[in-house]
Amino acid sequence: MKKEHSPSKKKGNRLKTVDLLLGMPYNVRKANRYFVLFFFIWAFLLYGNTLLNDFAVDDEFVTNNETIRKGVDAIPEIFTTHYIDQKGTISDNVTDYRPLVKLTYAVEYQIFQKDNPGRSHALNVLIYFLLSTLLFFILKRLLRDYNILFPFLITVVFMAHPVHTEVVASLKNRDEMLAFFFGLATLHSLLKFADTRKSGYVLSAMLLFVMGYLSKASILPFVLICPLTLYFFTDLKPKHYLPVAAGILILALLCQLLPEWFLPDGERMTSMMENPLFTEKGALLRLGTGLVSLLFYLKILIYPHPLLFYYGYDTIPLTTPTGIWALLSFILYAGMLIFALNNLRQKQVISFAILWYLIFIAMYSNFLVPVVGIVGERFVFAASLGFCIALIWAIFRIFNTEPNSLTIEFDARMKILAVTFLILIPYVALTVNRNREWKDLLSLYSADIPYLKSSAKVNAQYAGLLMRDAYGDPGFRQYGTVDPVKVETMKKHFLQSLKIFPQNYQTLNDLGTVYLFFDHNPDSAVLLLKRAISLNPSLEPAWVNLGMAYKEVHKPDSAAWCYSTILQNNPRQIRAWFALANSYFDMGDLQRAIEMNQEVIKSNPALDIPYINIGNYWLQTGDTLKAIENYVEALNRRMTSEGCSHVSALYKSLGDTLKSDQYRQMASEGKQQP
């Protein structure tokens, strides 16, 4: 039997380590398999219930879209287009470059040939398990002179921290996990280089870094993390690791610049509702608000409740550096930085933890670049590792135990495990419960809205979701009625959004829509829609809705003015032509109404709707024969059972049973032309 060596300060832990509970030596290679199995079970205990979830916030960007449904055939398109390509009625949102994330969904679709949120959630949990396992082995390497309990508990707490629920439970946020995974893999390769001095590991680190950037730019802090880690935990001298760090920096710059050479022009939609710093350029306000943002991240790490899918204006109010919370944040962060730098030469693990946290969270501080949503839980994902290291270090020190002691007294070990267990109980409960809230959009919005009364965007989004559901309600489609409670909820949250941000013309238009179609209050709709148009005269949906509201209050001349305004800006808006023609008919100008439909026929001779409109005009004026003549012309262009039944009934009213039977037979045959 091969003789095992006793642990030494530097290398003993590679062959033997110490049992987590009993302090007995055991074989590391065999134990590693048990660690991997434990982390697999732990990941699915924490996030297994996400497999029951549907799609949620922003998942359509990377899952339910036409590009993904092309499978692997979409690879050239995925790598030559933007990550987000969203067309809207107000503006477009075409931005970012994260092809590797979309590729994972395309491969999923290629294999299974259907959208399956449960399967995608399972893959998210698997990625979380893999990155957590990689993290453990990196920590084990960094802390190889430490008791194995130390990196193990750090990893367990990291995996369970509730602040990670947004990243794991949200399919869209797979990008964060992949970027962090490849960042850790980059670090792992550089540690291998430090141990072996083989240059091949540097090349693999470069490749892994690029893959991380192709997942998301949130890998960029590793440009600083890599040399910091090599300084703290290897024997490499600066002349060996600084050139490597410089190479990664150059690679990061290339990753930023090269996509601009071949990507089409992008457009990032920003608004005050997302972050007032997009419009407020004052340096003092940016500094003060940034400090409060940083304080928020400490708060949710220490007390992760409530967890919310989005924040935005006005959840973090604009403030100057002299505000009480900004000053508190400055004192805390300055203290952490000074402490870490003062102990930099001693290479204390707590200094490393603080610097890890500060480097990662700096990217989302709002100091240099405003962050979408002002703050977000996903932004603290990688930074939270620094917090977890510091937390477990503090627990060890509370019981006068050095983490780098290979043997720990049984009583101290039990106390450390007990305190950690007490922390894990609420962590696990919060995580599992939060996963349920991510079940779908309605569940998520309903759970979060009580805590987001000061978020203009979330209140508008929640009301907008209810409005979209109402449009699909069978009662509305058949009878034009919607549950009054739902209507009042829509109005309540649109009004709350406007209370926070009165100048939001889109919300004014949406609220006007609710009053018009669901509350049957066209007078209030007119006031809101006119206000929306005064803020944005080019807001076409508001002009359309205003025209319909004027029609409801029997002001066809005002409705005609609305549709004429639309056509001045967009002459090809065919629906506006039809609406304007109908307005002329309402004003008693039959000839003008017919002429407008005939103008559409000239440019769109295969379209059936103009003939239906003209037929309706003649029918309402009592000329059934002319009405039938136009309805038949419409059927010649698009044959439908409904149209045939209508013509059959009209012929029957005229006493022409032969033609009535002919069209009734056509209707019964289910004549349908796309």
* Distance in angstroms (rounded) separating the CA atoms of residues 360 and 364: 8
* Distance in angstroms (rounded) separating the CA atoms of residues 117 and 171: 8
Torsion, Cα 636 642 646 648, to 10 degrees, reads 80
* Distance in angstroms (rounded) separating the CA atoms of residues 634 and 644: 10
Stretch 534-548: mean pLDDT, rounded?
Answer: 95
Q: 589-632: per-residue pLDDT in tens?
A: 999 999 999 999 999 999 999 999 999 999 999 999 999 999 99
Nearest to 99 by CA among 82, 121, 124: 82
Are the CB atoms for 391 and 314 separated by under 8 Å?
no
Give the model's pLDDT for residue 27. Answer: 66
Placement of tokens 């709002």 in the chain: 366
Query: Bridge-partner residues for 94, per DSSP?
Result: 85, 267
* Distance in angstroms (rounded) separating the CA atoms of residues 350 and 334: 15
* Distance in angstroms (rounded) separating the CA atoms of residues 27 and 13: 10
Are the CB atoms for 495 and 504 separated by under 8 Å?
no
φ/ψ of residue 81, rounded to 5 = -130, 170
Are the CB atoms for 270 and 87 separated by under 8 Å?
no
Count of helix runs (H) and strand runs (E) in the chain = 30, 4
Give the model's pLDDT for residue 60. Answer: 72
Nearest to 380 by CA among 439, 462, 293: 293
* Distance in angstroms (rounded) separating the CA atoms of residues 183 and 207: 11
Q: Which helix (H) or strand (E) holds 378?
A: none
Placement of tokens 């009480």 in the chain: 324
* Distance in angstroms (rounded) separating the CA atoms of residues 199 and 275: 45
Tell me, what amino acid is at 166?
E
Q: 193-207: per-residue pLDDT in tens?
A: 999 999 999 999 999
Chain CA centroid to CA 425, Å = 28
Are the CB atoms for 18 and 148 separated by under 8 Å?
yes
Range name among 68-82, 149-163, 410-424 with the lowest pLDDT average: 68-82
Placement of tokens 């802390």 in the chain: 143
Write the secondary structure of 283-335 as one string of H (helix), E (strand) and C (coil): HHHHHHHHHHHHHHHHHHHHCCCCCCCCCCCCCCCCCCCCCHHHHHHHHHHHH
Residues 270, 273, 275, CA angle at the centre, nearest 5°?
65
Euclidean distance between the first and the last CA atom of the chain, given in angstroms as a whole number: 79
| Percentages (nearest 5) of helix, strand, coil residues in the chain | 70, 0, 30
Are the CB atoms for 290 and 367 separated by under 8 Å?
yes
Are the CB atoms for 166 and 378 separated by under 8 Å?
yes
Decide which of 458 and 67 is more confident: 458
Q: 240-281: per-residue pLDDT in tens?
A: 999 999 999 999 999 999 988 888 877 777 888 999 999 888
Give the model's pLDDT for residue 15. Answer: 43
* Distance in angstroms (rounded) separating the CA atoms of residues 44 and 51: 10
Tell me, what amino acid is at 410?
F
Decide which of 267 and 428 is more confident: 428
Percent of the chain with pLDDT over 90: 79
Contacts (Cβ under 8 Å, ≥6 apart) of 615: 626, 627, 628, 629, 630, 631, 634
Quick check: helix, strand or coil at residue 439?
coil
Q: Which of 7-11, 108-112, 646-650 has the highest mean pLDDT?
A: 646-650
User: How many of the other CB atoms lie within 10 Å of CB of 272?
Assistant: 18
* Distance in angstroms (rounded) separating the CA atoms of residues 549 and 552: 5
Q: How confident is the model at residue 88 (pLDDT cuts 50, 70, 90)?
A: low
Nearest to 317 by CA among 296, 345, 303: 296
Give the model's pLDDT for residue 255. Answer: 93
Are the CB atoms for 171 and 63 separated by under 8 Å?
yes
* Distance in angstroms (rounded) separating the CA atoms of residues 319 and 322: 8
Give the model's pLDDT for residue 269. Answer: 74
Give the model's pLDDT for residue 14. Answer: 42
Helices 410-437 + 384-398 axis angle, to 10 = 150
The dihedral region occupied by 400, where left means phi > 0, alpha psi between -120 and 50, and beta the remainder, is left
Tell me, what amino acid is at 455?
S
Tell me the whole-structure pTM to 2 decimals: 0.89
Percent of the chain with pLDDT over 70: 93
Stretch 82-110: mean pLDDT, rounded?
Answer: 79
Kindly list the structural domains of the chain, giving each domain's residue range(s) and its CATH number in brackets, ordered by start: 16-435 (no CATH), 455-553 (1.25.40.10)
Helices 238-257 + 174-196 axis angle, to 10 = 150
User: How many of the other CB atoms lie within 10 Å of CB of 237?
Assistant: 10
* Distance in angstroms (rounded) separating the CA atoms of residues 188 and 381: 19
Range name among 154-158, 226-230, 268-272 with the lowest pLDDT average: 268-272
Contacts (Cβ under 8 Å, ≥6 apart) of 42: 132, 156, 159, 160
DSSP tag of 86: E
* Distance in angstroms (rounded) separating the CA atoms of residues 86 and 60: 10
